[in-house]
Each structure stands twice: as C-alpha cells, then as structure tokens.
Chains A and B, each alone.
Chain A
Amino acid sequence: MDEAATRRRRRLIYGGLVGFLLVLPLLAEAAGQGFYISFATRVLILALAASSLNLILGYGGLVSFGHAAYVGIGGYVVGIAFVHAGDGTPILGLLPGGTDALVLLAAAMAVSGLVAAVIGAICLRTRGVAFIMITLAFAQMLFFFLVSLRRYNGEDGIAVWQRSTLPGPLDLNEPVQFYYLVLGLLLALLYGLNRLVASRFGRALRAARDNEGRAQALGFSTFRYQLTAFVLAGAVAGLAGALLVNATGFVAPSYLHWTRSGDLIVMVVLGGMGTIAGPTLGAAALMGMEEFLPELIDALHDGAGDYWKIVLGPLLIVIVLFARRGLAGVIEAAAGAGALRLPRLIPRRPGQPPRRRRTRR
C-alpha cells in the first residue's frame, strides 16, 4: 500500500471536513436554516468535552465514567457567577459574580481542573472496573451535592438568561460568532492534543496504557503522567461546560447525570478511541441520530417516531459489534484503500488501543 497516497487521501478527507465546518454557517444562513448553526455549535461543544475524555480514555486507557461531572462544574461556575452578578452578593462571601466570558471560561477550567486533581489523585489508585466505578461514585456524589444546593435551586438548576460578555464588538448572542469561537477552540484543542500525544508526555501516557508495569520499569512515574492527563481533561471539560451553559441558557445537576457521562463515552467509542478526530465525529454522529432518527422513523412509518429508541438501541449494538474502530476507522479505511473495506482487515498500527484490556488477572 502506498503510504504517501494514504496520507494524501487522509489529509484530503479531514481537510474537507474542516472546510465544511468553516463554511457551515454560511451554508446554513444561505438556506435560511439558522437552527443548524446553533445545533452545530452544541455538537462542537460536546466534541470538546468528548475530546478531553479521549485524552484519558483513548490515550490513557482510563475509563472514566464520571466525566460529565467536570462539564457540569464548569457550567455551574458560569451559572453561579450569573446568579451573584444578578443579586450583587459575593460568592461564598469572597468573590464577586460576573458575566465576563474570558474570566468565566478561565475560572471554569481552573475549578474543574482543581476538582479533577483531587478526584483523580484518589481514583488513580485503582484500575480497571474499580476505576470505572469510583469515578462514577464521585460524579454521583457531586450530582447529589448540587441537587441539595437550595441557594442554586437544587434539581431545577439555574436559568442563565444572559450569555457571557466578550470584549469589544464580539458578542456571544451572535450565533455565527459563537460558532466560530467554539470551532476555533476545538481546532486549537485538537491541534494541541495531536502535539501532546506525540510528545514524550503522550508516549509515556500510552506506554502506561499498553503496559503499565513495563512503563514503570522504564522509569516513568505513570501516576504523575496519568494524573496530569486527568486534570487536563477535567479542565477542558470544564471549558466545554461553560460554553454549553451559554449555548443552552441553563445549568442543572442533569449536566452531571451518569447517563451524560455515558453519552460522552459513546461519542468517543463511536468516533474512534485514541484518534484525534474520533470524538468529534462521534459527537456529530450521536447528536445527529438523536436529532434526526425520530423524524426519519416517523416519515417511514407514521406515528412510529415515538418508539425511535427501539431502533437506536439495536443500532448501537450493531455499531459496537461491527465497527470496532469507529468512524475514524472508517475514514482511515477509505484513505488507506481508496475504497471501502472491512475495518477488521485494516492492519493494526502501533499506538492503537489493544484489542482487549483485561481487568482481572
């Protein structure tokens, strides 16, 4: 197989996708379909969150089942600042509220990263299924903690009536500006991730994933690398949460619900674990299905749209069973062979996740 041609085709495909994202608002406006701009904005925000999870899940091999917690915390930073900006009281008697986007996005990342540092330091003492469950446990604790916060309306959460403010002529109320801001952040993150996983840090992280014992024998402090990745992932998830609150106008404990953590995992796996573009593809695919499947089924059989999940469920199973490397794998196959191929015929490249990680000795 011609390596250069493969690389060219791959570049062509991903270049085309990025190009599509760049012109999407223009297309949507030309078609008079403003909705697709805000929809795409939400997809890209969740792609940010899924990509951050991918750093620890795909490259670190750490299945965190509580990643939505950091999205939620980032969101609550914006929500709580909004509440206090409204009634003029200080947060915890210390900090003023506010709606300045730059401050809030940075604060969201800092708070989420800090919480991730604490939780990560505890969770990373465990492995395998225990790690899955302990990350879930912490996310559940945060969920119930927020439910019990009466000052911030518990279960109902906070309706954030105003979007955060940007300096100068920039305005998050402008859907197109908001879209490009999110797209810029996502592309920057993916670029950074690409650099990061190729760096010494990334190699150490992947080495720890593939064979922790050997990585430690080679002198890597795997705990430190994994914790750093965990904190980075938490911070980026917090950024996504802060953006999501601006996109949807509310934040509530439902942001942290365990099924949201499940959604993020689905996005990563669906798109392709341990690939740069995978989580974004997965986010687009999952949200696209959620958005269009009911209407599609309704169109095929009137009234059947109510039961769309009876289609989604088996569809998920089929995808898991037959598309092992996700959408990124499909693109890879298209680039590699120039034609469609069965994913399992693709030779496994180094750096791909091992086929199976045993949790039990």
Chain B
Amino acid sequence: MATRTFVAVTATALAAAAMLAAPPAGAESLRIGMITTLSGGGSGLGIDIRDGFLLGVAHADGRLGGVETEVIEADDERRPELAVQLADRMVQRDEVHIVTGIVWSNLALAIMPTLAREETVFVSPNAGPSALAGEQCSRYFFNVAYQNDNNHEAMGQHVANEGYERVFLLAPNYPAGQDSLTGFKRFFDGEVVEEVYTQLGQLDYAAEIAQIRAAEPDAVFFFLPGGMGINFLKQYDQAGMKDEVPVFGPAFSLSQDILGAVGDAALGVYNTAQWSPDLDNDGNARFVADFQAAYDRLPSLYAAQAYDAAQLIGAAVAAIGGDVEDTDALIAALETAEFDSIRGPFRFNTNHFPIQDFYLRQVVAREDGTLTNRMVDTVFTDHADVYAADCSF
C-alpha cells in the first residue's frame, strides 16, 4: 500500500513534469506571472490583488494592449524563499514577460535580485519598500501603488493640519513599520509623546493600550496591517479608548478587507490612501460595480491597485505595438505609459514609483450595514517620495 502510494505519487509527479515541460505558448501572447499570497494568513490581500488584476484583464477582453494575455498564478504562502523559487520558475520555465502580484515588502525585496539577474520586469501592485525606491532601486522594478512612506506622510500632514499637538505612534518592529513612522514624522510637526514598536504579528495590544492611556496623548497614529490592525482596533474600542483619544492610520489599517472583521470599532476612523471606492471618475465607478458583480464583495485598496497594474501593463504593451519580447522597449513604455487610472492623475517618477494625489478617507456604514471608506478631502496633490533623488539605474 505504502509502496503503491509512492509509486502513484512518483508517477503523477513525473507525468506532471512531462506535462509542464511542454514549451510555453508562442511569442504572440503576453505572459504574466501572478505570484501572490493565496493561502494561509494574509491570503485575503493576495486574493484581492489577483481578482482585481483579472478584472483588469477581463475589461481588456483578455487582451492587454491588444495582445492575448495569459496570467499564470502561483501561491507564495507569504514565504520569501518560496516567492523566489516561483519567480525563478516563471521566468525560466514559463518565460513570463512581467511578474506582478506580490503583497509584502519583504517578499518583493527577496525576489528582486532574481528578477534583475533574469532581466524581467516586476510591476508591484502593492509593496513599495524604501530600499527599492532609493539606492537599491532597479530599472526592472515598477511600483504602481505607492511608496511605503506615502500614506503615512499624508496622515502626518492631516494630523498636523487638524492641530493635534501630542501624538502617540504605534507600528510593528520591521522595516515597513519603521518606514511608516518615519513617513508620519516627516510631515507631522507636533510632539511625538512616545513611539512604540510592537512585535510583528502581535496578538494582544493590551499592554500598549495601557501605555497610551497613561501617556494621555491628543491622538494615536497606528500602522498595523492585516490581522494586527483588527486585533488593535477591537481591543482599543473594548478598552473604551476610541472616544477618548482618536486614532488615525494609513489605509492599510482600515482597508476593506479588515473592516468586516473589525465592525463598529472602525466606524468614523480617518485614514489616508491614494484611492477611495467613491472617487468620482468613470473608470472607478465601473471598476467598483463590476468587481462587486463579479466577486460579490466590495473591492479593497489592494484590488484597486492590481486593477491599475493591469491597466498600466495594457497601456505600455499597446504603446510598443505588442512586441513584448523587447524588454528595454517595454520598460521605456511603462515609464511613460498613459492610462486612465481609477485613482485619478498618475505618472511615474524617475525611480519608477508614482507621483499622485493622496486623499483623506473615513470609515462609514453603507445602507445595508456593511462598512466602507468614503472620501473626505485631498491631502496631497502630485506627491512624490523622498528617495527618488538617491536612485540611479
């Protein structure tokens, strides 16, 4: 029985290898490697990115830039070394022209040496670490979403505008967390009462909430994406703090994917992003409506960014007449690609990161009781990151 199991496993593996060893489809198609988190913790974000991107491809009738488009998906399980392995496979075996999908900064950093060596373009629909915006920037890396500091900078500006003087800062102890507080402080000119770095993936924030209570700040700025943000917001509300000291955060702490789990504890909280589901342009209205129709849920910021990634690629491929094998031309076309971004005005900076507007959003309840974000104000127009000056390809 055991032996047979093994024989069966080996045989199927060999069959799979033989099947997969078939040469990739002809050069007339555009192959895109979608490496993202599709299982385990954080898969909500990866699935939103994949679905948003696929909707973008669908809106182009399956032909981005007029070229038959094939999206090859793979699950990175949020493991950097697996992401590298997948990138290697997609570039070498599937011969993809573009890689996209990665959610997390540490995974993006991990796969860049491989992609740069293989001279393959990476269009990041989310991760935008400062390392890749400045000295370590790569001509093969494009970020269509934001530089990690940007959303925090916008919130720093807003909190300063509102006249809060003493602010308590909270972020996980990892590079994106440090980027976030640096970004906030770059535009916030008041007093930082305390800066607390929590453990990555921390579950309980009671200790930190007690510290906040003791420090008596005017406001709290927190960057806790995913499950961490859910934990913090629920506990902050349960500690009765939400009405005493207001919290502010970047969109990641209050994105659509976590609002359902947080519930009323998130109601009314302000956050900043480069996109909002109610932004007033035709493309956005169509995106939101079609996403809801196709997947039966509201799109998150991540889905919007991935949709724009598809649009960007489509525009660039169209500009070079569909000759996707010419990587240098593709890079040049991506740099200057013009498309109707659903976030409003968009262009690339010299370091392949966006120059764009940033908006203030607020969590509100819809008529059916579900929570969503509503646009309130524009904080920055044509905002760029500070690292671009250090970047030369």
List the interface of chain A (C-beta within 8 A of B).
31-36, 38-39, 42, 147-148, 150, 153-157, 159-161, 173, 244, 248-250, 252, 254-255, 285, 288-292, 294-296, 299, 305-309, 315, 318-319, 322-324, 327, 330, 333, 340-343
Contact = CB atoms under 8 A, between A and B. Distances in A.
B174 A157 contact: no
B89 A39 contact: yes
Contact of B116 (A35, A161, A290, A319): A161
B54 to A, nearest CB: 12
Interface string B188-232: 000000000000100000000000000000000000000000000
A51 B19 CA distance: 31
A307 B75 CA distance: 10
A327 B117 CA distance: 36
Interface string B1-27: 111111101001100110111010000
A345 B67 CA distance: 59
B23 A295 contact: no
Contacts of B93: 33, 35-36
A161 B131 CA distance: 13
Interface residues of B, number: 50
A27 B270 CA distance: 59
Interface in B141-178: 173-176, 178
Interface string B294-306: 0000000000000
A153 B113 contact: no
Contact of B74 (A34, A249, A294): A294
B80 A157 contact: yes
Given A156-B129, A159-B110, A333-B3, A248 B84 contact: yes
A250 B109 contact: yes
A356 to B, nearest CB: 18
Contacts of A147: 173-174, 200
Nearest to B89: A35
A254 B12 contact: no
A182 B79 CA distance: 24
Contacts of B176: 156
A114 to B, nearest CB: 25
B175 A254 contact: no
Nearest to A38: B88
The interface centre, meaning the residue of A38, A154, A323 with most chain B CB atoms within 10 A of its CB, is: A154
DSSP class of B's interface residues: helix, strand, loop or mixed? Answer: helix
A159 B7 CA distance: 40
- Nearest first, the 4 A-B pairs at minimum CB distance are A249-B113, A35-B92, A155-B174, A322-B2
The interface centre, meaning the residue of B73, B81, B129 with most chain A CB atoms within 10 A of its CB, is: B81
Contacts of B381: none
B3 A340 contact: yes
B315 interface: no
B112 interface: yes
Given A35-B92, A156-B109, A249-B113, A254 B178 contact: no
A34 B81 contact: no
A153 B131 contact: yes
19 contacts: A32-B23, A35-B88, A35-B92, A147-B173, A157-B106, A248-B110, A254-B81, A255-B81, A285-B9, A288-B13, A289-B9, A296-B12, A296-B13, A299-B16, A306-B38, A307-B39, A318-B5, A323-B2, A342-B1
Contacts of B38: 306
Nearest to B86: A291
Given A35-B93, A290-B82, A294-B74, A342 B106 contact: no
B39 to A, nearest CB: 6
B80 A249 contact: no
Given A250-B84, A323-B5, A155 B12 contact: no
Contacts of B129: 156
A33 B21 contact: yes
Contact of A294 (B75, B92, B178): B75
A173 B75 CA distance: 27
A70 to B, nearest CB: 16
A292 B39 contact: no
Contacts of B88: 35, 38-39
The interface centre, meaning the residue of A244, A252, A315 with most chain B CB atoms within 10 A of its CB, is: A252
B85 interface: yes
A157 B110 contact: yes
